[in-house]
Amino acid sequence: IPTIRDIAAASGVSAATVSLVLNGKGEISEATRVRVLEAVSRLKYVPRASRSRSSEVKETLRFLKIAKHGQTVNRDHSHFISDYIDGMSQEALRRGYALEVTSHDGETIAAIAEAVAGAAGVSGIIALGTELSEGDIRLLQSVGTPIVFIDTFHDVVEANFVNMNNIDAVYKVLERFKSRGFSRVGFVASHVGTTNFKLRYDAFFRNMERLGLEVDPSLIISVESTFNGAHRGTSEYLASGGELAECYFCTNDIMAFGFARALRENGIGIPQDVSLIGFDNLPMSATSDPPLTTIDVSKRKIGFHAVALLDDIINGPPDLPCVKMLVGADLVARSSG
C-alpha cells in the first residue's frame, strides 16, 4: 500500500506538502497541487479513512482543466482552480476514488473528447466549463462517460452543472450600492465568451430592476477580461471623455484591478470618487490598494458537490434526470466599496 512518503517521492515534494494538498490546506501552487494529485492517482493511494471501507481505490475520476482561449482560465485565476481541485480531491478520496487532473490548453474540444473516449479506467469526468460553449458541452457529453460541468450553467442544456449562483451574488453587490445611497450604478462588463460573464451581465439588468434602480447604458463599459485588457479598455474610455458613475460592479477581480489602475492614473480616487466591487475574492483582493470589496464563492464546495453528484450518476440508474446545482455567495466588504 503506497504511503504519503511514496507520493512525496513520486511528485518531488515533501511529505508535509502532500499532507497539505490532501487536506486542502496551505498556500500550495496549482502546479504543485496538480503534480501531487497526479501521483496520488498514479500510485492509487487511499487515505486511512478510506482504507477501512476498501483496500484499494474503486475507480478513477478525471478532472479536465480546459482553457480554450485563456482569457479567463489562466495564471491569474490559478488560485480558484486550485480551490476546485481541493474540494474534488477531498471528496473523491473520501468516497474511495482516485482523482486524475489533466490540463488542456488551446486544444480543440473534439481532440479532448477523443482523448477522453480513448481513456481506459475512467468512470466519470468533471470538466471545467468556464470557456466552453453549449456546443462544446454537447460534444463532451457525446463521449458517453458520466460527466459534470463546473463553473458554467445553462438552463436549457440537458447536462449536469454545479456553478455559483450569479443572480444572488450580483443582487448582493447592487443591494450594497443601494444601501449606501448610490443611484448611478455603473458596470464593467466583458465581451469575452464566458458563460458566467453573460450570466452576470443578465443578472445586472434583472437585479437593477428588482431593486428599483435605473440602468444608464452610458455607464456600462465592456473590456477584455485580463488585467492589461481591462486597464487598456478603461484608459481608452476615459481618454474619449466617457462619463463615470458613482460606483461600479466589475465582472471579476482581475478586471477590477485593471479598471482601478486606469482610474488612479487619471487622478480618480477609490472609494473617494468611485466605489468599486469585484467578483471572485482572489487572494490579492485583500492586499490591493485599497482592499477590494468582492464576492466570495466557495470553490471547494463546488468541487465537493461535483464529485458527490458524479458519484450518484455513476452508481444510480441510467435514466436519472440532469441536476443543475447553484452554490450561494457572500459579499466580502472592504474599503473599495
Q: How many domains does the chain have?
A: 3
Both 74 and 27 in a single domain?
A: no
Both 76 and 180 in a single domain?
A: no
Q: Are the C-beta atoms of residues 130 and 76 closer than 8 Å to each other? A: no
Looking at the DSSP bridge assignments, the partners of residue 99 are 61
What is the reported pLDDT for 210? 97
Distances (CA, A) of 202 to 113, 145, 195: 30, 32, 11
Both 265 and 202 in a single domain?
A: yes
The alpha carbon of residue 159 and the mean position of all alpha carbons in its chain are separated, in whole angstroms, by 18
Both 109 and 136 in a single domain?
A: yes
d(CA 188, CA 253): 11
What is the reported pLDDT for 150? 96
Both 201 and 247 in a single domain?
A: yes
Both 155 and 178 in a single domain?
A: no
Is residue 50 situated within a structural domain? no
d(CA 83, CA 101): 13
- 3-state secondary structure string across 129-143: CCCCCHHHHHHHHCC
Is residue 232 situated within a structural domain? yes
Is residue 120 situated within a structural domain? yes
Which domain, by its residues, includes 213? 166-296
Is residue 256 situated within a structural domain? yes
Written as nine digits, the cell of 167 is 443572480
Residue 197, domain CATH:
3.40.50.2300
Both 116 and 215 in a single domain?
A: no
Closest CA to 247 of 212, 277, 275: 275
Both 129 and 152 in a single domain?
A: yes
Model-level pTM? 0.80
Is residue 217 situated within a structural domain? yes
The alpha carbon of residue 277 and the mean position of all alpha carbons in its chain are separated, in whole angstroms, by 18
Which residues have a Cβ under 8 Å from the Cβ of 70 and sit 6 or more positions away? 105, 106, 131
Both 282 and 310 in a single domain?
A: no
Both 179 and 286 in a single domain?
A: yes
Both 120 and 174 in a single domain?
A: no
Is residue 52 situated within a structural domain? no
Which residues have a Cβ under 8 Å from the Cβ of 321 and sit 6 or more positions away? none
Closest CA to 34 of 18, 46, 47: 18
d(CA 12, CA 8): 6
Both 113 and 193 in a single domain?
A: no
Q: Going from the first residue of the chain to its last (337 residues), give the mean pLDDT of each consecutive group of 10, the final group possibly shorter.
A: 82 82 71 78 63 54 85 60 88 90 88 84 92 92 92 93 97 98 96 90 98 97 94 96 96 96 96 97 92 95 96 88 95 96
Is residue 336 situated within a structural domain? no
Looking at the DSSP bridge assignments, the partners of residue 66 are 104
What is the reported pLDDT for 50? 46
Is residue 53 situated within a structural domain? no
Looking at the DSSP bridge assignments, the partners of residue 333 are none
Pairing relationship of beta strands 275-277 and 122-128 according to DSSP bridges = unpaired
